[in-house]
A and B are shown apart, each in its own frame.
Chain A
Amino acid sequence: MSAKSLKKSYLLGGRAVEAALRLADGRVTGSLTTAGDEPAVVDGSARRLGAHRLALELDGKRVRATVLRDGGRTWVQIDGRTYEVDVHERGAGGGAHLGEADFAVSPMTGGLTKVSVTPGDSVDKSGELFVVEAMKMEFVVRAPRDLVVASVAYAAGDQVEQGDVVVAFEEEA
């Protein structure tokens, strides 16, 4: 799987945290910077355990997290505690809000037979994004609008569950 990166500001319990992270082959590197603190170097791992579950390793400690991304808010549950992590809106131009229409999800659980786009691609409305197959039926997911591909989370041959984000788009211009 190709490397992906993310640069975003989050709010957790009233404190802003800047995340600059890169994910490649399950390894997460980069930094997390809490407002007013020195950046904390991240060198850990992140793997998918299920449609809403992650296995993380950070500073030698392993945790399992359950997550739900609901617009600008991510609900995170780790070891019985639930946290609300919000995308930190920084006004016009600086926003990093991932809206409902900013990704394409798999409509069913099955195997990805084809991924038709790569990050940076411009796709016209109704252009083919990826193809899922289950029970000998194929389903083509198409672009809901004119868009630019920001990231692709899976490759052909991967298994996906219904609702998994397969392709994320750049924000609408």
Chain B
Amino acid sequence: MSAGPVSVSFRKVLVANRGEIALRVMRTCRVMGVATVAVYSEIDADQRHVLEADEAVCIGPAEARASYLNIEAIIEAAKATEAEAIHPGYGFLSENAAFAKACEDAGVVFVGPSADVLRDSSDKLIVKRRAAEAGCPVIPGPLDAVSEESAKLRAAANETGYPLMLKASAGGGGKGMRRVEREEDLESAAESARREAGGAFGNTELYLERMIEGARHVEVQVVCDNYGSTRFFGCRDCSMQRRNQKVIEEAPAPGVAVGDIQEAAGKLVEALGYRGAGTIEFLVEPDGSFWFLELNRRLQVEHPVTEECFGVDLVALQLQVADGEGFAAGERSVFSQGHAVEARVYAEDPAGGFLPSPGRVLYVAEPEGPGIRVDSALAAGMDVSPNYDPMLAKVIAHGETRDEAIARLDAALAETVIFGVRTNIAFLRTLLADPDFRAARLRNDAIDSRTDELVQLPEPGAEVVLAAAAAELLGVGARRRAPTAGGAARLPTPWETLAGFRLGEGA
């Protein structure tokens, strides 16, 4: 890729997503001088991704199935606006082979892997087999689907050893996954996993893996061009997960030797003929051994920690690769500098069992300062809909050292204010303060094993009620009246209420 200002031949890109990631993609489009098209569901007309785009097209009702997952409507919107490429963000249609195919058929560039690669890699067991063949270490277990015959299932399980994991070949989002401790539970677990996988994916195929206990979740960021070259952007650690949902992510992965893992990741993407940005997830054990876990064929939620360390714009690279640019022979990856940590702010109530907390956002104050980045679509007046993912914002801190990045992130979260919906901000700060996390003693079960303890907060002090009362006495903090959705509430301007208006008259 040539030095100098980043550019692509696209004049207009449609962003088939919503929320912070849609805004994130549009920001890069603006840098590159590319016009943006937003798509939105009927309830999202006042969301920031719609208001800040150059054009916006309504693609259907609130339910994601009828709008953000509506392939036909999105292709229609791209044609109507003459967008030359579609960036799918993450989630929704980002890894959907049928969508990528529909884009190809419509003559619109899909910013991601080819439809063929997406189709071939949609089956986890097939990808695992390809990884093993390519020489990328995989979690021990048979590379064939488990038999429905109970004798064969038992034999395969005994060979793998307990505890083990049953996984759905078509799986995703933890669906169709079961941990099995002992032989007595095997058949019922297989049965319920099959049922769940069948319901969710229309495919009941399962496979077995040895349970890797207390490992870390480490992932490699790559971007592959169309001509067989791969650029590597180091490792992230995403061990801080709650029920398979990442909460805190960081780069680089503390104490992980990048070389071998990157090499293994490279073998897999090469074998698949992969194109675009991708993440290869691994489990890493305390002795340093690592096992391929999963391939994510999209931009990840946590991509900013990599961007902050490497000083790159991964969305720009995605667009350039989609535009057919190749990495120049011998081009080296830029170097990682310092450390970055990200916290995901969710509209959920940790004290109430982490139930989502939809509602109208009444007030927002986002942090700033050296090393602080906020990827968010928050605005006072916006509605947090129960129809979509409850992630509100990502707060990212970069520092020279891990300690500095954590300290900056903690201070940034302390000054992040969101009123109107409940959030997990206090919980995030508890996690950042955890001695094991501070010492980088990371395990992917660290949160789940002590959730009850981690959601505890001290009793509120007298200053809280004093603040409420003093606000009233001082006339501070009154909600602006007549809030309009999608923006700051407004009061009538003097021009709208001329009855009491005087010009040039002394008081």
Question: Which A positions have Cβ atoms within 8 angstroms of B?
Answer: 4-6, 8, 10, 12-13, 17, 19, 21, 23, 28, 32, 40, 42, 44, 46-48, 50-54, 56, 58-59, 61, 63, 65-71, 74-83, 85, 98, 100, 103, 105, 107-108, 113-114, 128, 131, 133, 136-142, 151, 153-154, 156, 162-166, 168
Contacts and interface: CB of A to CB of B under 8 A. Distances in A.
Contacts of A6: 469, 472-473
B415 interface: yes
Nearest to A74: B468
Contact of A77 (B419, B491, B504): B419
Contact of B474 (A5, A48, A70): A48
Contacts of B414: 79-80
B151 interface: no
B439 interface: no
A46 B491 contact: no
A46 B473 contact: yes
Interface in B414-433: 414-420, 422-423, 425-426, 429
A21 B474 CA distance: 12
A98 to B, nearest CB: 7
B466 A75 contact: no
B470 A54 contact: yes
How extensive is the interface on chain B, given as a class?
35 or more
Interface stretch (B114-122, B126-134, B319-327, B494-502): B494-502
A23 B473 contact: yes
B4 interface: no
Contacts of A83: 460, 464
B328 interface: no
B478 interface: yes
Nearest to A163: B480
A74 B471 contact: yes
Interface string B13-36: 000000000000000000000000
A52 B457 contact: no
Contacts of A10: 465, 468-469
B110 to A, nearest CB: 41
Contacts of B457: 81
B477 interface: yes
B3 interface: no
Given A70-B362, A114-B507, A142-B500, A107 B465 contact: no
A91 B493 CA distance: 37
Contact of B465 (A17, A61, A71, A138): A17
Given A68-B363, A80-B414, A85-B464, A105 B477 contact: no
A100 B492 contact: no
A151 B462 CA distance: 24
B467 interface: yes
B344 to A, nearest CB: 15
A78 B464 contact: yes
A164 B464 contact: no
A107 B492 contact: yes
A156 B506 CA distance: 13
Contact of B471 (A69, A107, A139, A163): A69
B111 interface: no
Contacts of A68: 362-363, 419, 477, 479
Nearest to B497: A107
Nearest to B363: A68
B493 A107 contact: yes
Given A6-B473, A85-B468, A138-B502, A69 B460 contact: no
Given A82-B418, A140-B500, A56 B470 contact: yes
A74 B464 CA distance: 10
B329 interface: no
Interface string B435-452: 000000000000000000
A65 B463 contact: yes
A83 B422 CA distance: 9
B476 interface: yes
Interface string B353-365: 0000000001101
Among B426, B462, B469: residue with most chain A CB under 10 A = B469
Given A107-B491, A138-B505, A48 B500 contact: no
Nearest to A130: B507
Contacts of B470: 21, 23, 28, 46, 54, 56
A40 B464 CA distance: 14
A75 B472 contact: no
B369 interface: no
B460 to A, nearest CB: 6
A19 B472 CA distance: 12
A17 B463 CA distance: 12
Contact of A165 (B425, B475, B497, B499): B475
A98 B468 CA distance: 13
A170 to B, nearest CB: 14
A168 to B, nearest CB: 7
A165 B275 CA distance: 58
Contacts of A77: 417, 419
A138 B480 contact: no
A47 B494 CA distance: 29
